[in-house]
Structure 1
Amino acid sequence: MSFRLAAYAVCVKDGQVLLGHCMSRTGEPGWTLPGGGVEHGEDPFDAVIREVAEETGYDAVVERLLGVDSRVIPAAEARAGTAHQNVGVFYEVRITGGRLRPEPNGDIAESVWTPLPEVARLRRSSLVDVGLAMARTRPPTGHVAPVPVGGLLQH
């Protein structure tokens, strides 16, 4: 089984959430939260700030830790054909500067501010729903129920 530790930014402002447009594990375009893999020796707190800058062009500060999500993607559904565990650390972030732009030489073709009611109609990573649920409910345990995948929701 492969393993990945990742940090994700949940940035909600004026009823909109910042999302990145990328290719899903199935090769189809989809939407996700800014964020990604924590480099060896890197703190997830620093990783989320770095990832927001790389993927969106924005400068950000962490407002609070929202929670941690751990999911296993079965081999039959994983991109590499091997079961994969993703542990995601979710942070509430606030944009402090910079300018919105596509990720240079990266996976995010564009980032956009998306009205919250429109999110349900997008083909998206389940990480979007997990992060928004954490931001909405602020669970004391830092954990929300797993989000089932299928239809518009992808791993």
Structure 2
Amino acid sequence: MDLRLAAYAVCVEDGRVLLAHAVRPDGMRTWTLPGGRVEHAEDPFDAVIREVAEETGLDAVVERLLGVDSRVIPAAERRLPGRPELQNVGVFYQVRITGGSIRPEPNGETAQSVWTPVAEVPGLGRSSLVDVGLALARTVPPTGHVAPVPVGGLVQH
């Protein structure tokens, strides 16, 4: 089993959420939250700020920890054929944008980032991470845990 530790930014302002249009390794595009892999010896708190800057061009500050999501993606559902199942541990933070200019990620996997009305999210092809992050932001569970998000249709791993 592969293991991935990642940090994700949930930024909701004026009824809109900041989403990144990611280009997957298989060429497909999907909407997701800004964020990604925590580098070796990096604190997830620092990683989420770095990822927001890299992917969107925006400066952010962490306002609070929202929660942690752990899910296992079966080998058959991975984007990279031939890889074993993946346990993705995602640390979700509520962030606030403090500056910068929105832009695509230079030489990266994020084609664009946009402020999207939260009401329009259900109609988007998106990563399950979006639903997890919005559920955490909406409910702020004391344990920092939300029920698993069903994957299928417009919601992908």
Cα gap change, 1:125 to 1:25, in 2 (>3 Å):
farther
The amino acid of 2:151's aligned partner reads V
Which of residues 113, 116, 119 is equivalent to 1:117? 119
Which amino acid letter does the alignment assign opposite residue 11 of structure 1?
C
Post-superposition offset of 1:43: 0.1
- Structure 1 unpaired stretches of 5+: none
- 1:26, distance to aligned residue in structure 2 (A): 5.7
Question: Which residue identity is paired with 1:151?
Answer: G
Give the match for residue 146 of structure 2: 144
Q: Which secondary structure does the structure 1 equivalent of 2:8 belong to?
A: strand
Which residue in the other structure is 2:41 paired with?
41
| 1:22 Cα offset (Å) | 1.2
- The alignment-based identity, stated in percent, is 77
Task: Give 5+ residue unaligned stretches, structure 2.
Answer: none
Residue equivalent to 1:99: 101
Q: CA RMSD in A?
A: 1.0
Q: 2:25 and 2:7 mapped to 1: Cα distance?
A: 18
2:29 partner amino acid: P
Report how many residues are paired.
155
State the Cα distance separating 1:24 from its structure 2 match: 4.1
When normalised by structure 2's length, the TM-score is 0.96
Alpha carbons 1:24, 1:154 under 8 Å: kept: no
Separation in 2, partners of 1:54, 1:30:
18
**How far apart, in 2, do the equivalents of 1:86 and 1:107 lie?**
18
